[in-house]
Structure 1
Amino acid sequence: MTNQNKIKLNWLTVIILIIFWGVCASFYPYLPDQVPTHWNIKGEVDNYSHKSVAAFILPLLPLGIYLLMTFIPKIDPKKENYLKFASSYEKIRLATVALMVVLNLFTLLVGLGYDINISLMVRIAIPLLIIVIGNYMGKVRYNYTLGFRLPWTLASEEVWNKTHRLGGKLMVAGGLVALLGVFTPPSMGFALVMVGILLPIVVTTVYSFLSYQKLRVDE
Protein backbone atom coordinates (compact mmCIF):
# COMPACT_ATOMS: atom_id res chain seq x y z
CA MET A 1 0.00 0.00 0.00
CA THR A 2 1.42 3.35 -0.99
CA ASN A 3 1.79 6.13 1.54
CA GLN A 4 -0.74 8.16 -0.45
CA ASN A 5 -3.38 5.44 -0.07
CA LYS A 6 -2.68 5.22 3.66
CA ILE A 7 -3.24 8.95 3.92
CA LYS A 8 -6.51 8.65 1.98
CA LEU A 9 -7.81 5.93 4.31
CA ASN A 10 -6.80 7.97 7.33
CA TRP A 11 -8.56 11.06 5.99
CA LEU A 12 -11.65 9.00 5.23
CA THR A 13 -11.76 7.95 8.88
CA VAL A 14 -11.25 11.57 10.00
CA ILE A 15 -14.01 12.81 7.68
CA ILE A 16 -16.41 10.17 9.05
CA LEU A 17 -15.66 11.39 12.57
CA ILE A 18 -16.12 15.06 11.63
CA ILE A 19 -19.48 14.37 9.95
CA PHE A 20 -20.49 12.20 12.90
CA TRP A 21 -19.80 14.93 15.43
CA GLY A 22 -21.62 17.43 13.25
CA VAL A 23 -24.67 15.16 13.20
CA CYS A 24 -24.49 14.70 16.98
CA ALA A 25 -24.42 18.46 17.50
CA SER A 26 -27.33 19.01 15.09
CA PHE A 27 -29.43 16.33 16.82
CA TYR A 28 -28.84 17.70 20.32
CA PRO A 29 -31.54 20.44 20.39
CA TYR A 30 -34.21 17.95 19.29
CA LEU A 31 -33.40 15.17 21.77
CA PRO A 32 -35.56 14.67 24.89
CA ASP A 33 -33.84 15.29 28.21
CA GLN A 34 -33.50 11.54 28.80
CA VAL A 35 -32.32 9.27 25.98
CA PRO A 36 -32.19 5.44 25.92
CA THR A 37 -28.51 4.44 26.03
CA HIS A 38 -28.54 0.77 27.01
CA TRP A 39 -30.55 -2.30 26.11
CA ASN A 40 -30.70 -5.71 27.79
CA ILE A 41 -30.22 -9.06 26.08
CA LYS A 42 -33.93 -9.09 25.16
CA GLY A 43 -33.61 -5.79 23.36
CA GLU A 44 -35.46 -3.84 26.07
CA VAL A 45 -34.25 -0.43 27.23
CA ASP A 46 -32.79 -0.75 30.73
CA ASN A 47 -30.95 2.55 31.13
CA TYR A 48 -31.39 6.21 30.17
CA SER A 49 -28.88 9.08 30.12
CA HIS A 50 -29.12 12.84 29.78
CA LYS A 51 -29.11 13.97 26.18
CA SER A 52 -25.73 15.66 26.64
CA VAL A 53 -24.24 12.26 27.47
CA ALA A 54 -25.82 10.65 24.40
CA ALA A 55 -24.84 13.47 22.05
CA PHE A 56 -21.38 14.40 23.34
CA ILE A 57 -20.00 11.86 25.85
CA LEU A 58 -20.77 8.51 24.25
CA PRO A 59 -19.51 9.78 20.85
CA LEU A 60 -16.08 10.18 22.45
CA LEU A 61 -15.65 6.40 22.16
CA PRO A 62 -15.11 6.23 18.37
CA LEU A 63 -12.87 9.29 18.59
CA GLY A 64 -10.92 7.65 21.41
CA ILE A 65 -10.50 4.46 19.39
CA TYR A 66 -9.18 6.45 16.45
CA LEU A 67 -6.68 8.34 18.60
CA LEU A 68 -5.57 5.21 20.44
CA MET A 69 -5.01 3.25 17.23
CA THR A 70 -3.12 6.22 15.81
CA PHE A 71 -0.84 6.54 18.84
CA ILE A 72 -0.13 2.87 19.63
CA PRO A 73 2.03 2.09 16.55
CA LYS A 74 4.32 4.95 17.52
CA ILE A 75 5.18 3.42 20.92
CA ASP A 76 5.00 -0.30 20.13
CA PRO A 77 8.48 -1.88 20.53
CA LYS A 78 7.87 -3.56 17.17
CA LYS A 79 6.62 -0.38 15.49
CA GLU A 80 8.67 -1.05 12.35
CA ASN A 81 6.52 -4.13 11.67
CA TYR A 82 3.40 -1.98 11.28
CA LEU A 83 4.75 -0.92 7.89
CA LYS A 84 4.42 -4.54 6.78
CA PHE A 85 0.67 -4.56 7.31
CA ALA A 86 -0.15 -0.86 7.04
CA SER A 87 -3.04 -1.44 4.64
CA SER A 88 -4.68 -4.02 6.90
CA TYR A 89 -4.19 -1.84 9.97
CA GLU A 90 -5.78 1.22 8.34
CA LYS A 91 -8.78 -0.84 7.23
CA ILE A 92 -9.22 -2.42 10.66
CA ARG A 93 -9.12 1.03 12.26
CA LEU A 94 -11.62 2.41 9.75
CA ALA A 95 -14.00 -0.52 10.26
CA THR A 96 -13.82 -0.29 14.06
CA VAL A 97 -14.45 3.47 14.10
CA ALA A 98 -17.27 3.13 11.56
CA LEU A 99 -18.98 0.47 13.66
CA MET A 100 -18.93 2.67 16.77
CA VAL A 101 -20.19 5.65 14.77
CA VAL A 102 -23.11 3.67 13.36
CA LEU A 103 -24.16 2.29 16.76
CA ASN A 104 -23.98 5.77 18.30
CA LEU A 105 -26.11 7.21 15.51
CA PHE A 106 -28.73 4.50 16.00
CA THR A 107 -28.87 5.41 19.69
CA LEU A 108 -29.51 9.06 18.84
CA LEU A 109 -32.16 8.14 16.28
CA VAL A 110 -33.98 6.08 18.91
CA GLY A 111 -33.83 9.13 21.17
CA LEU A 112 -35.46 11.17 18.40
CA GLY A 113 -38.33 8.71 18.34
CA TYR A 114 -37.42 6.46 15.43
CA ASP A 115 -38.42 2.82 15.86
CA ILE A 116 -35.08 1.03 15.48
CA ASN A 117 -34.39 -2.47 16.73
CA ILE A 118 -31.05 -1.81 18.46
CA SER A 119 -30.68 -5.45 19.45
CA LEU A 120 -30.90 -6.47 15.80
CA MET A 121 -28.47 -3.76 14.74
CA VAL A 122 -25.90 -4.98 17.28
CA ARG A 123 -26.36 -8.58 16.14
CA ILE A 124 -25.57 -7.44 12.60
CA ALA A 125 -22.79 -4.94 13.32
CA ILE A 126 -20.60 -7.02 15.62
CA PRO A 127 -20.41 -10.09 13.35
CA LEU A 128 -19.64 -7.86 10.37
CA LEU A 129 -16.76 -6.28 12.30
CA ILE A 130 -15.47 -9.73 13.27
CA ILE A 131 -15.55 -10.77 9.61
CA VAL A 132 -13.74 -7.63 8.46
CA ILE A 133 -11.03 -7.92 11.11
CA GLY A 134 -10.68 -11.65 10.49
CA ASN A 135 -10.22 -11.01 6.80
CA TYR A 136 -7.10 -8.94 7.55
CA MET A 137 -5.84 -10.74 10.66
CA GLY A 138 -3.71 -13.14 8.65
CA LYS A 139 -1.69 -10.18 7.39
CA VAL A 140 -0.99 -8.71 10.83
CA ARG A 141 2.72 -8.98 11.60
CA TYR A 142 4.50 -9.48 14.89
CA ASN A 143 3.72 -6.68 17.35
CA TYR A 144 2.77 -6.19 20.99
CA THR A 145 -0.63 -4.59 20.55
CA LEU A 146 -2.86 -5.93 17.78
CA GLY A 147 -3.67 -9.56 17.18
CA PHE A 148 -3.53 -12.85 19.10
CA ARG A 149 -0.99 -11.76 21.71
CA LEU A 150 -0.43 -15.11 23.39
CA PRO A 151 2.68 -16.36 25.20
CA TRP A 152 3.51 -18.63 22.28
CA THR A 153 2.93 -16.10 19.50
CA LEU A 154 5.02 -13.51 21.34
CA ALA A 155 7.78 -16.08 21.85
CA SER A 156 8.05 -17.00 18.16
CA GLU A 157 7.40 -14.99 15.03
CA GLU A 158 6.84 -18.21 13.10
CA VAL A 159 4.13 -19.28 15.54
CA TRP A 160 2.70 -15.74 15.35
CA ASN A 161 2.31 -15.95 11.56
CA LYS A 162 0.79 -19.46 11.61
CA THR A 163 -1.60 -18.56 14.42
CA HIS A 164 -2.83 -15.42 12.70
CA ARG A 165 -3.40 -17.13 9.39
CA LEU A 166 -5.62 -19.72 11.08
CA GLY A 167 -7.15 -17.25 13.52
CA GLY A 168 -8.18 -14.89 10.74
CA LYS A 169 -10.02 -17.68 8.91
CA LEU A 170 -11.72 -18.79 12.12
CA MET A 171 -12.80 -15.22 12.86
CA VAL A 172 -14.46 -14.97 9.45
CA ALA A 173 -16.22 -18.30 10.05
CA GLY A 174 -17.19 -17.19 13.57
CA GLY A 175 -18.58 -13.94 12.22
CA LEU A 176 -20.73 -15.84 9.74
CA VAL A 177 -22.02 -18.07 12.54
CA ALA A 178 -22.78 -14.98 14.62
CA LEU A 179 -24.74 -13.48 11.72
CA LEU A 180 -27.17 -16.39 11.99
CA GLY A 181 -28.33 -14.64 15.15
CA VAL A 182 -30.13 -12.15 12.94
CA PHE A 183 -32.73 -14.85 12.25
CA THR A 184 -33.22 -15.91 15.88
CA PRO A 185 -34.72 -14.38 19.04
CA PRO A 186 -32.44 -11.81 20.73
CA SER A 187 -31.23 -14.14 23.52
CA MET A 188 -30.27 -16.85 21.03
CA GLY A 189 -28.80 -14.23 18.71
CA PHE A 190 -26.45 -12.92 21.39
CA ALA A 191 -25.51 -16.51 22.28
CA LEU A 192 -24.48 -17.05 18.66
CA VAL A 193 -22.48 -13.80 18.74
CA MET A 194 -20.62 -15.05 21.83
CA VAL A 195 -19.95 -18.39 20.15
CA GLY A 196 -18.70 -16.58 17.06
CA ILE A 197 -16.31 -14.55 19.23
CA LEU A 198 -15.16 -17.10 21.80
CA LEU A 199 -14.82 -20.28 19.72
CA PRO A 200 -12.20 -18.83 17.32
CA ILE A 201 -10.26 -17.50 20.33
CA VAL A 202 -10.27 -20.89 22.08
CA VAL A 203 -9.32 -22.90 18.99
CA THR A 204 -6.66 -20.38 17.97
CA THR A 205 -5.16 -20.39 21.47
CA VAL A 206 -4.89 -24.20 21.50
CA TYR A 207 -3.42 -24.19 17.99
CA SER A 208 -0.85 -21.59 19.02
CA PHE A 209 0.24 -23.68 22.02
CA LEU A 210 0.52 -26.86 19.94
CA SER A 211 2.44 -25.06 17.19
CA TYR A 212 4.93 -23.72 19.71
CA GLN A 213 5.42 -27.14 21.29
CA LYS A 214 5.99 -28.70 17.87
CA LEU A 215 8.50 -26.00 17.00
CA ARG A 216 10.46 -26.72 20.19
CA VAL A 217 10.50 -30.45 19.44
CA ASP A 218 11.69 -29.83 15.88
CA GLU A 219 14.52 -27.69 17.20
Structure 2
Amino acid sequence: MNSADKRGLTPLDGVSILTTAAIAGAALAVWRLGPTGPMPMHFNYAGQVDRWGDRAEMGLAIGVIAMVAGAVAVVCAAMERQVRDRRGDRFTYRLGRIVGLAAPAFGAVMLTSTAFDLLPRQGGQAMFLSLMMGGMALLFLGMGAFLGRVKPNPVIGVRTYWALRSRLAWDKSNRLAGRLMTLVGLLGLAAAPVAPQPIGFHVLMAGVIASGLAAGFESWRVWRTDPDRT
Protein backbone atom coordinates (compact mmCIF):
# COMPACT_ATOMS: atom_id res chain seq x y z
CA MET A 1 0.00 0.00 0.00
CA ASN A 2 1.47 3.36 -0.98
CA SER A 3 1.66 6.52 1.08
CA ALA A 4 -1.34 8.09 -0.66
CA ASP A 5 -3.55 5.18 0.40
CA LYS A 6 -2.22 5.38 3.99
CA ARG A 7 -3.16 9.04 4.16
CA GLY A 8 -6.73 8.26 3.17
CA LEU A 9 -7.85 11.10 0.93
CA THR A 10 -5.68 12.06 -2.04
CA PRO A 11 -5.54 15.52 -3.67
CA LEU A 12 -7.81 14.25 -6.44
CA ASP A 13 -10.27 13.05 -3.79
CA GLY A 14 -10.32 16.59 -2.43
CA VAL A 15 -10.89 18.07 -5.88
CA SER A 16 -13.70 15.55 -6.45
CA ILE A 17 -15.43 16.50 -3.19
CA LEU A 18 -15.07 20.24 -3.80
CA THR A 19 -16.28 20.00 -7.41
CA THR A 20 -19.32 17.92 -6.50
CA ALA A 21 -20.13 20.22 -3.58
CA ALA A 22 -19.80 23.29 -5.80
CA ILE A 23 -22.22 21.85 -8.36
CA ALA A 24 -24.66 20.93 -5.59
CA GLY A 25 -24.30 24.45 -4.17
CA ALA A 26 -25.07 25.92 -7.60
CA ALA A 27 -28.21 23.76 -7.76
CA LEU A 28 -29.34 25.04 -4.37
CA ALA A 29 -28.57 28.65 -5.31
CA VAL A 30 -30.61 28.42 -8.51
CA TRP A 31 -33.50 26.72 -6.72
CA ARG A 32 -33.68 29.24 -3.87
CA LEU A 33 -32.23 32.45 -5.34
CA GLY A 34 -32.77 32.18 -9.09
CA PRO A 35 -35.10 34.52 -11.00
CA THR A 36 -38.76 33.63 -10.77
CA GLY A 37 -39.30 34.08 -14.51
CA PRO A 38 -39.11 31.33 -17.13
CA MET A 39 -35.71 29.78 -17.86
CA PRO A 40 -34.57 28.02 -21.04
CA MET A 41 -34.53 24.27 -20.43
CA HIS A 42 -34.03 22.79 -23.88
CA PHE A 43 -32.61 23.90 -27.22
CA ASN A 44 -33.59 22.58 -30.62
CA TYR A 45 -31.34 21.61 -33.53
CA ALA A 46 -30.97 25.25 -34.56
CA GLY A 47 -29.88 26.33 -31.08
CA GLN A 48 -33.18 28.02 -30.25
CA VAL A 49 -35.05 27.55 -26.98
CA ASP A 50 -37.98 25.18 -27.52
CA ARG A 51 -38.95 24.55 -23.91
CA TRP A 52 -39.01 26.78 -20.84
CA GLY A 53 -39.10 25.91 -17.16
CA ASP A 54 -38.81 27.53 -13.74
CA ARG A 55 -35.99 27.78 -11.24
CA ALA A 56 -37.06 24.63 -9.43
CA GLU A 57 -36.68 22.58 -12.61
CA MET A 58 -33.34 24.20 -13.42
CA GLY A 59 -32.11 23.56 -9.88
CA LEU A 60 -33.20 19.94 -10.17
CA ALA A 61 -31.31 19.56 -13.46
CA ILE A 62 -28.12 20.91 -11.92
CA GLY A 63 -28.67 18.70 -8.86
CA VAL A 64 -28.83 15.62 -11.10
CA ILE A 65 -25.53 16.71 -12.65
CA ALA A 66 -24.02 16.90 -9.16
CA MET A 67 -25.18 13.34 -8.40
CA VAL A 68 -23.71 12.05 -11.67
CA ALA A 69 -20.38 13.75 -10.98
CA GLY A 70 -20.28 12.36 -7.45
CA ALA A 71 -21.16 8.84 -8.61
CA VAL A 72 -18.45 8.85 -11.28
CA ALA A 73 -15.88 10.12 -8.78
CA VAL A 74 -16.77 7.46 -6.21
CA VAL A 75 -16.72 4.59 -8.72
CA CYS A 76 -13.42 5.65 -10.29
CA ALA A 77 -11.81 6.23 -6.89
CA ALA A 78 -12.89 2.77 -5.71
CA MET A 79 -11.54 1.11 -8.85
CA GLU A 80 -8.27 3.03 -8.62
CA ARG A 81 -7.70 1.76 -5.10
CA GLN A 82 -8.20 -1.83 -6.24
CA VAL A 83 -5.20 -1.64 -8.62
CA ARG A 84 -2.63 -0.10 -6.27
CA ASP A 85 0.35 -1.87 -7.82
CA ARG A 86 -0.30 -1.06 -11.49
CA ARG A 87 0.50 2.54 -12.38
CA GLY A 88 -1.09 2.38 -15.84
CA ASP A 89 -4.41 1.27 -14.40
CA ARG A 90 -4.29 3.95 -11.73
CA PHE A 91 -3.76 6.56 -14.46
CA THR A 92 -6.76 5.18 -16.37
CA TYR A 93 -9.17 5.64 -13.48
CA ARG A 94 -7.73 9.03 -12.59
CA LEU A 95 -8.32 10.19 -16.14
CA GLY A 96 -11.85 8.78 -15.99
CA ARG A 97 -12.49 10.70 -12.80
CA ILE A 98 -11.11 13.96 -14.19
CA VAL A 99 -13.23 13.73 -17.34
CA GLY A 100 -16.23 12.62 -15.28
CA LEU A 101 -15.88 15.76 -13.14
CA ALA A 102 -14.88 18.28 -15.82
CA ALA A 103 -17.79 17.57 -18.16
CA PRO A 104 -20.53 17.88 -15.47
CA ALA A 105 -18.82 20.94 -14.02
CA PHE A 106 -18.85 22.65 -17.41
CA GLY A 107 -22.51 21.77 -17.91
CA ALA A 108 -23.37 23.11 -14.46
CA VAL A 109 -21.51 26.37 -15.13
CA MET A 110 -23.42 26.89 -18.38
CA LEU A 111 -26.80 26.14 -16.78
CA THR A 112 -26.12 28.32 -13.74
CA SER A 113 -24.92 31.18 -15.93
CA THR A 114 -28.06 30.84 -18.03
CA ALA A 115 -30.29 30.82 -14.93
CA PHE A 116 -28.77 34.00 -13.52
CA ASP A 117 -28.44 35.64 -16.96
CA LEU A 118 -24.66 35.90 -16.63
CA LEU A 119 -23.81 35.09 -20.25
CA PRO A 120 -23.09 37.96 -22.67
CA ARG A 121 -26.32 39.27 -24.17
CA GLN A 122 -24.69 40.23 -27.44
CA GLY A 123 -25.16 37.44 -29.97
CA GLY A 124 -27.97 35.69 -28.10
CA GLN A 125 -28.22 31.97 -28.83
CA ALA A 126 -25.22 32.13 -31.17
CA MET A 127 -23.04 33.31 -28.29
CA PHE A 128 -24.36 30.50 -26.09
CA LEU A 129 -23.53 27.89 -28.72
CA SER A 130 -20.08 29.42 -29.31
CA LEU A 131 -19.31 29.12 -25.61
CA MET A 132 -20.63 25.56 -25.58
CA MET A 133 -18.55 24.72 -28.62
CA GLY A 134 -15.38 26.18 -27.09
CA GLY A 135 -15.87 24.44 -23.75
CA MET A 136 -16.62 21.06 -25.29
CA ALA A 137 -13.70 21.38 -27.70
CA LEU A 138 -11.42 22.02 -24.73
CA LEU A 139 -12.75 18.89 -23.01
CA PHE A 140 -12.22 16.80 -26.15
CA LEU A 141 -8.70 18.21 -26.52
CA GLY A 142 -7.78 17.31 -22.96
CA MET A 143 -9.28 13.84 -23.18
CA GLY A 144 -7.68 13.13 -26.55
CA ALA A 145 -4.24 14.06 -25.28
CA PHE A 146 -4.29 11.15 -22.81
CA LEU A 147 -6.73 8.64 -24.30
CA GLY A 148 -4.00 6.62 -25.99
CA ARG A 149 -2.48 5.73 -22.61
CA VAL A 150 -5.55 4.21 -20.95
CA LYS A 151 -5.63 0.49 -20.15
CA PRO A 152 -8.67 -1.77 -20.66
CA ASN A 153 -11.31 -0.72 -18.15
CA PRO A 154 -15.10 -0.38 -17.71
CA VAL A 155 -15.08 3.43 -17.50
CA ILE A 156 -13.35 5.26 -20.35
CA GLY A 157 -11.98 4.56 -23.81
CA VAL A 158 -13.04 2.77 -26.99
CA ARG A 159 -14.99 -0.02 -25.30
CA THR A 160 -16.25 -1.97 -28.29
CA TYR A 161 -16.81 -5.74 -28.34
CA TRP A 162 -13.58 -6.18 -30.31
CA ALA A 163 -11.41 -3.82 -28.24
CA LEU A 164 -12.37 -5.64 -25.05
CA ARG A 165 -11.34 -8.98 -26.57
CA SER A 166 -8.00 -8.00 -28.02
CA ARG A 167 -5.36 -5.97 -26.20
CA LEU A 168 -3.80 -4.99 -29.53
CA ALA A 169 -7.17 -3.75 -30.79
CA TRP A 170 -7.68 -1.80 -27.56
CA ASP A 171 -4.31 -0.08 -27.78
CA LYS A 172 -4.53 0.82 -31.46
CA SER A 173 -8.15 1.97 -31.44
CA ASN A 174 -7.63 4.14 -28.37
CA ARG A 175 -4.48 5.68 -29.80
CA LEU A 176 -6.39 6.52 -32.97
CA ALA A 177 -9.30 7.91 -30.96
CA GLY A 178 -6.89 10.05 -28.93
CA ARG A 179 -5.30 11.54 -32.05
CA LEU A 180 -8.65 12.24 -33.70
CA MET A 181 -10.16 13.74 -30.54
CA THR A 182 -7.12 15.97 -30.12
CA LEU A 183 -7.44 17.16 -33.72
CA VAL A 184 -11.18 17.78 -33.36
CA GLY A 185 -10.59 19.62 -30.08
CA LEU A 186 -7.88 21.86 -31.55
CA LEU A 187 -9.92 22.73 -34.63
CA GLY A 188 -13.08 23.27 -32.57
CA LEU A 189 -11.29 25.52 -30.08
CA ALA A 190 -9.81 27.62 -32.86
CA ALA A 191 -13.10 27.87 -34.75
CA ALA A 192 -15.41 28.53 -31.78
CA PRO A 193 -15.04 32.36 -31.74
CA VAL A 194 -15.64 32.77 -35.48
CA ALA A 195 -17.74 29.80 -36.67
CA PRO A 196 -21.34 30.63 -37.66
CA GLN A 197 -23.81 29.01 -35.28
CA PRO A 198 -25.38 26.53 -35.04
CA ILE A 199 -23.31 25.13 -37.94
CA GLY A 200 -20.06 25.27 -35.97
CA PHE A 201 -21.50 23.36 -33.03
CA HIS A 202 -23.02 20.72 -35.32
CA VAL A 203 -19.73 20.27 -37.18
CA LEU A 204 -17.93 19.75 -33.88
CA MET A 205 -20.41 17.08 -32.83
CA ALA A 206 -20.16 15.43 -36.26
CA GLY A 207 -16.37 15.36 -35.87
CA VAL A 208 -16.64 13.64 -32.49
CA ILE A 209 -19.10 11.07 -33.85
CA ALA A 210 -16.88 10.42 -36.87
CA SER A 211 -13.88 9.96 -34.57
CA GLY A 212 -15.77 7.42 -32.50
CA LEU A 213 -16.89 5.49 -35.58
CA ALA A 214 -13.36 5.47 -37.01
CA ALA A 215 -11.94 4.19 -33.71
CA GLY A 216 -14.64 1.54 -33.50
CA PHE A 217 -13.85 0.37 -37.04
CA GLU A 218 -10.14 0.27 -36.16
CA SER A 219 -10.87 -1.95 -33.17
CA TRP A 220 -12.72 -4.40 -35.43
CA ARG A 221 -10.02 -4.30 -38.12
CA VAL A 222 -7.20 -5.05 -35.67
CA TRP A 223 -9.20 -7.66 -33.72
CA ARG A 224 -9.96 -9.54 -36.95
CA THR A 225 -6.25 -10.18 -37.61
CA ASP A 226 -5.00 -10.48 -34.01
CA PRO A 227 -3.90 -14.08 -33.28
CA ASP A 228 -4.22 -13.42 -29.54
CA ARG A 229 -7.83 -12.27 -29.65
CA THR A 230 -10.38 -13.96 -27.40
Q: TM-score range by the shorter chain?
A: 0.7 to 0.9
Note the aligned Cα RMSD (angstroms). 3.0
Relative to structure 1, the CA distance from residue 199 to residue 114 in structure 2 (aligned partners, 3 Å threshold; closer, same or farther) is same
Match of 2:180 in 1: 170
Relative to structure 1, the CA distance from residue 210 to residue 23 in structure 2 (aligned partners, 3 Å threshold; closer, same or farther) is closer
Which moved further from structure 2: 191-200 or 57-66? 57-66
Displacement of 1:19 in angstroms is: 2.4
Name structure 2 gaps, 5 residues minimum. 121-126
SS at match of 2:158: coil
Relative to structure 1, the CA distance from residue 158 to residue 107 in structure 2 (aligned partners, 3 Å threshold; closer, same or farther) is same
Question: 2:20 aligned to 6, 17, 22, which one?
Answer: 17
Match of 2:116 in 1: 112
Match of 2:123 in 1: none
Alignment-mate amino acid for residue 188 of structure 2: A
Displacement of 1:88 in angstroms is: 4.2
Relative to structure 1, the CA distance from residue 37 to residue 139 in structure 2 (aligned partners, 3 Å threshold; closer, same or farther) is same
Given that 1:9 and 1:91 are in contact with CA atoms closer than 8 Å, whether structure 2 keeps it comes out as no
Displacement of 1:126 in angstroms is: 1.5
Given that 1:137 and 1:168 are in contact with CA atoms closer than 8 Å, whether structure 2 keeps it comes out as yes
Alignment-mate amino acid for residue 20 of structure 1: I
1:206 aligns with 2:209: no
More helix by share: 1
Match of 1:188 in 2: 199
SS at match of 2:21: helix
Question: 1:134 aligned to 144, 155, 163, which one?
Answer: 144
Displacement of 1:206 in angstroms is: 2.3
Structure 1 segments, 4+ long, off by >4 Å, are 72-75, 79-83
Relative to structure 1, the CA distance from residue 29 to residue 15 in structure 2 (aligned partners, 3 Å threshold; closer, same or farther) is same
Match of 1:70 in 2: 74
Relative to structure 1, the CA distance from residue 84 to residue 3 in structure 2 (aligned partners, 3 Å threshold; closer, same or farther) is farther
Given that 1:177 and 1:192 are in contact with CA atoms closer than 8 Å, whether structure 2 keeps it comes out as no
Displacement of 1:51 in angstroms is: 0.6
Relative to structure 1, the CA distance from residue 135 to residue 3 in structure 2 (aligned partners, 3 Å threshold; closer, same or farther) is farther
Given that 1:96 and 1:129 are in contact with CA atoms closer than 8 Å, whether structure 2 keeps it comes out as no
CA distance in 1, matches of 2:54, 2:3: 42
1:159 aligns with 2:163: no
SS at match of 2:227: helix
Question: 1:149 aligned to 138, 145, 159, which one?
Answer: 159
SS at match of 1:160: helix
SS at match of 1:114: coil
CA distance in 2, matches of 1:174, 1:131: 7
Name structure 1 gaps, 5 residues minimum. none
Match of 1:101 in 2: 105
Deviations 1:26-72 (A, max 9, x none): 34324224221222343322221221121233332243133135326
Deviations 1:111-150 (A, max 9, x none): 2233443212211121211111112211211123421112
Displacement of 1:197 in angstroms is: 0.5
SS at match of 1:37: strand
SS at match of 1:216: coil
Question: How many equivalent pairs are there?
Answer: 215
